[in-house]
A and B are shown apart, each in its own frame.
Chain A
Amino acid sequence: MKLDNDEERRKKRLARFAVNTDTRKATDKIRTNKTDSIIVGCFQTISKPYMRLTSEPNPEFIRPIHILKKAYETFLNEKINKEIEYSRFISEFKSIRQDLTIQRIRDEFTVKVYESNIEISIENEDFNEFNQCITQLIPLYSEVKEQAENDKRLQFIKYNMIRLIFLKEWDSLIEMFIRYKLNQNEKQIMLEWELFDAKIVGDYYKLAQTIESISEKNMLMGKLLEYYLKNERNNIIRVLILSYNQLNFEMLKEKLYFNNIENLGKYLIENKKYQEFIEKKVLENGKELQILNSRKIRLQNSDNF
């Protein structure tokens, strides 16, 4: 009796393998992470301020593609013509991006939305938004074939390169450089490569020269670089404090990419708390010079220097 039970249990276990003969279909279904149902919106109002999604998206409040295209044209033109503030613009565009994402629309129009968003965000110095958009745009480029040969995509790729250089995400950057080099297109990104080389070693002289060359060609690129340079200043001033005994303000202003002495002063006092190290030096010709006593900084902050 016991043997029969054992035999029966063994047969049942073996039968487990026999039940689902077409294992491929079963496992394919199990493995599919994406759901088959795609939402198609039916909301017809052009304007829809952005609201964070906290539940399942409702198609009644999602705009279909033709409405999204109208919304895009409307709000982009209004922003360009200064009819709306940046805060309104960004709310509408985030909402357009949200609707595109929910409906899994990833085509040339989506690329256009992100590109416009990026340009306006840089113009308005909203670099968080720039960051969010560029990280979505770059993967889109590999999915959506370029409609016509133009420099526009290259421009955004360069924005991304600048971002990667200063955020020190160099392995992604290096992959891009390899592709350009192997395709013998490195001349297209020559300045960005020089910027990368300068950043690797902290060569602020070469950094300044390259930044000037890049900014001359593109105003938006100049704004982006200005944003990242703010952090770079801390690295540069550290090198200067370690290697000079005193730093005159004119020289410092140039090396730290400030437009005027007042902004330099503000940075040294408010950011770096170097009030007590700012001195006045009188030259032989009677001229007064404002200097930063870096030797004193080193002596008083020996732990940091």
Chain B
Amino acid sequence: MEDYFYRGYYDEKFLRFLIKSNTNDKETFVCHGQGKIQELFEICQELHLLNPNQTHEVYELCLRQLKIMNRISETSGNWIVYPLFKVCEQFLHMTRLLPRKKKFEKRKVELLEECGRNIHRSFTLCLNDRNPTRMENRQLGVYSLANLEFEIYGELGNRDMCRNLIKVLSSRELMYHETPLKSHMVKFKYYVGEYYGCYEYDFAKSFEHLNDSLMRCPVNVPGPFRDQFNLIKTRILIKLIPVAMVNDQKYLNFRTLVETLLDILPGPGNSASPGVELVDFLQEKYGNLIQSFLTGDIALYDASVRRHQVFYLQQGVYVAVQRLRDCVVLKRLKRWYARGGNAGQSVVALKGLCGVLRVKDVAQIECQLARLIAQGKMRGYISHGHGAVVLSKTRPFAPRASAVSVASGTSRG
């Protein structure tokens, strides 16, 4: 076993030895090393001997295994990053299993916090590697380990730790801007995008990361993995759809979604496919919202938000959806203007807009228009004394919305 450490490589056999499995496949290793390597060897041996029902004992060994791996990693090259990640993943798995035992039921939070601390140690080991040789630098592992931390902090509801993690990663000049493990980058970008969209309400950054996450998802995925990837894409889209609309006035075209992202063709005979269910799900939650965004139908928007309020709250997109209302109002005004509603006049009485926006109070219209002008979505100014809005003679409204360009070519084939 020490051969892996002296020569600085890993293979499937080594990974199988590190990770406890419930199958009967057992790897046979011999260890002539000493010190930390010998200790790791003995822990792994004992891990494989334990019964899976001995959850607490397995947990304790996984903790020891992670600690010894951290110590070994301090002086190892970046080959250790993936085995270290697998050990962290295993420890997290056991941390989630242990509270199912009655004795540890009430310690779920405490155990998760400890898991977070230990995995953060692994993360720091990778982050702080000063090795100038890129091919040996452990910073390669920060993204994979950060994903595990994001999962833990998400379960703990600890937004501050997420913020610290993102701050640390964005403030450092890292040797690696991404990991070659594509699925890990998809996850990483998703978590960062989710953080910006659902906690910081920075929809520009959120869109950038969520869109990147989606673009990294493969299309034409072979059979057994297709459903898994469709679920991942749906999870990203749940956040991305409202963020894209509110940030950049981009809306989701469902036909494009079906054809390019969810790997199914629209039409009869596909109703049994799970991908169709996902499309139907997204259509149900966002269809009317997108429709109201495109047509300026304020009543449809309000009804849609009332109906799916809990869903939007639970998914953390409620703020984005609320901010979309201004876009819907704007669309309504643009359509009214395009139909010649202002009769060619740049000075428009606010009372006249009450019917357009279905509002009784002129003060409310004034407030709505003031906000649209302040946001740069309308050009003009309000004259309170004259009870009117003076629109710009040239292009009083911002450019139109566009459909999300999903087939950027990066993920095809």
Indicate if the CB atoms of B364 and A181 lie closer than 8 Å.
Answer: no
B42 at the interface (CB under 8 A from A): yes
Chain A: residues with Cβ within 8 Å of the partner, total of 36
Q: Is the CB of A31 within 8 A of B374?
A: no
Residue of B nearest to A181 (CB): B310
User: If the complex has contacts A13-B42, A182-B310, are A244 and B384 also in contact, measured as CB distance less than 8 A?
Assistant: yes
B60–A178 CB distance below 8 A: no
Asked if B373 and A178 sit within 8 Å, CB to CB, the answer is no
Q: Does A24 have its Cβ within 8 Å of any Cβ on chain B? A: yes
User: Which of A109-117, A118-126, A199-207, A272-280 has 4 or more CB atoms under 8 Å from chain B?
Assistant: A199-207
Interface residues of A (CB under 8 A from B): 13-14, 17, 23-24, 27, 31, 33, 168, 170-171, 174-175, 177-178, 181-182, 197, 200-206, 238-240, 242-245, 247-248, 251, 295
CA distance A185 to B78 in the complex (A): 54
Question: Which residue of B has the minimal Cβ distance to A289?
Answer: B385
Indicate if the CB atoms of B382 and A243 lie closer than 8 Å. Answer: yes
Task: Report whether A244 and B382 are in contact in the complex, using a CB–CB cutoff of 8 Å.
Answer: yes
8 Å CB contact of A239 from B39, B323, B370, B381 = B370
Interface residues as binary, B361-389 with A (CB distance below 8 Å gives 1, 0 otherwise): 10110111111011000000111110000
CA distance A66 to B371 in the complex (A): 57
Known: A200-B319, A201-B323. A171 touches B198 (CB 8 A): yes
B77 at the interface (CB under 8 A from A): no
Bound Cα distance from A295 to B381, whole angstroms: 10
A203 to B371, CA, bound (A): 8
Decide: A181 and B322 in contact? CB cutoff 8 A: no
Question: Which residues 194-215 in B have Cβ within 8 Å of A in the complex?
Answer: 198-199, 201
- How far does the alpha carbon of A171 sit from the alpha carbon of B198 in the complex, in Å? 8
Give the A-binding residues of B (Cβ under 8 A).
Answer: 38-39, 42, 46, 56-57, 60, 110, 114, 157, 159, 198-199, 201, 309-310, 313-314, 316, 318-319, 322-323, 325-326, 361, 363-364, 366-371, 373-374, 381-385
Q: How far is the CB of A223 from chain B (nearest CB, A)?
A: 25
Please indicate the chain B residues that have their CB under 8 angstroms from the CB of A201 in the complex.
322-323, 325-326, 371
A33 closest partner in B (C-beta): B110
Residue in chain A with minimal CB distance to B322: A200
* Complex Cα gap A33–B38 (Å): 32
**Nearest chain A CB to B371's CB is how many angstroms away?**
6
- In the complex, the answer to whether A27 meets B60 with C-beta atoms within 8 Å is yes
Most chain B beta carbons < 10 A, residue from A178, A243, A295: A243
Residues of B near A178 (CB, < 8 A) are: 310, 313-314
Q: B194 CB to closest chain A CB, in angstroms? A: 11
Per the bound structure, the CA–CA distance linking A193 and B310 in Å amounts to: 13
Identify the 3 closest CB pairs spanning chains A and B, nearest first.
A205-B367, A243-B373, A243-B370
**Minimum CB distance partner of B199 in chain A:** A171
Nearest-neighbour CB distance to chain A for B234, whole angstroms, equals 21
Instruction: Tell me the complex Cα distance, A174–B199, Å.
Output: 11
Which residues of the partner chain B approach A14 to less than 8 Å between Cβ atoms? 42
Give the docked Cα–Cα distance between A177 and B309 (Å). Answer: 10
Contacts of A33 in B (CB 8 A): 110
Measured CB to CB, the nearest residue on chain A to B326 is: A201
* CB proximity of B356 to chain A, nearest CB, Å: 17
Contacts of B114 in A (CB 8 A): 31
Q: A239 contacts B371, CB within 8 Å?
A: yes
Most buried by A among B159, B198, B325, B385: B385
Chain B residue numbers with a CB within 8 Å of A205 are 361, 363-364, 366-368
Task: Give the residues in chain A near B325, CB-CB below 8 Å.
Answer: 201
Q: How far, in Å, is B113 (CB) from chain A's closest CB?
A: 10
Q: Are B316 and A174 in contact (CB under 8 A)?
A: yes
Contact between chains at A171 and B363 (CB < 8 Å): no
A-B contact pairs, 10 of them (CB 8 A): A17-B42, A33-B110, A170-B201, A201-B323, A201-B371, A205-B367, A206-B364, A206-B367, A242-B370, A244-B384
B residues less than 8 Å from A31 (CB atoms): 110, 114
A200 to B6, CA, bound (A): 58
Q: Which residue of A lies closest to B370 (CB)?
A: A243
With A171-B199, A178-B313, A204-B367 already in contact, the answer to whether A243 and B381 are too (CB < 8 A) is yes
Could you say which residues of chain B place their CB within 8 Å of the CB of A248?
A: 384-385
Quote the shortest CB–CB distance from B284 to chain A (angstroms): 19
Say whether B309 contacts A181, CB under 8 Å: yes
- B60 contact set on A, CB distance < 8 A: 23, 27
Nearest Cβ in chain A — how far from B191, in angstroms?
A: 15
Residues of B within 8 A of A181 (CB): 309-310, 313
What separation, in Å, do the CA atoms of A33 and B114 have in the docked complex?
12
Q: Which residues from A are CB-within-8-Å of B319?
A: 170, 200
Contact partners of B322 in chain A: CB under 8 A:
197, 200-201
Q: Across the interface, do A174 and B313 meet the contact criterion of CB distance under 8 Å? A: yes
B310 nearest CB across to chain A (Å): 5
Tell whether A174 pairs with B370 under 8 Å between CB atoms, given A23-B60, A201-B326.
no
- Return chain A residues, CB-CB under 8 Å to B326: 201
Measured CA separation A245–B388 after assembly (Å): 12
Contacting residues, chain B, for A242 (C-beta < 8 A) = 370, 373-374
* Distance of A113 Cα from B232 Cα, bound (Å): 49
On chain A, the residues within 8 Å of B383 by CB distance are: 244-245
Q: Which residues of B contact A171 (CB under 8 A)?
A: 159, 198-199, 316
* B365–chain A nearest beta-carbon distance, Å: 9
Whether A244 pairs with B370 at a CB distance below 8 angstroms is: yes
Q: Is the CB–CB distance between A244 and B385 below 8 Å?
A: no
In the bound complex, CA of A27 to CA of B201 (Å): 42
What separation, in Å, do the CA atoms of A244 and B314 have in the docked complex? 38
Residues of A within 8 A of B318 (CB): 174
Least distance between A16 CB and chain B CB atoms (Å) = 9
Contact partner of A238 (CB less than 8 A), chosen from B199, B374, B381, is B374
Cα of A284 to Cα of B247 in the assembled complex, Å? 45
Chain B residues with CB under 8 A of A239: 370-371, 374
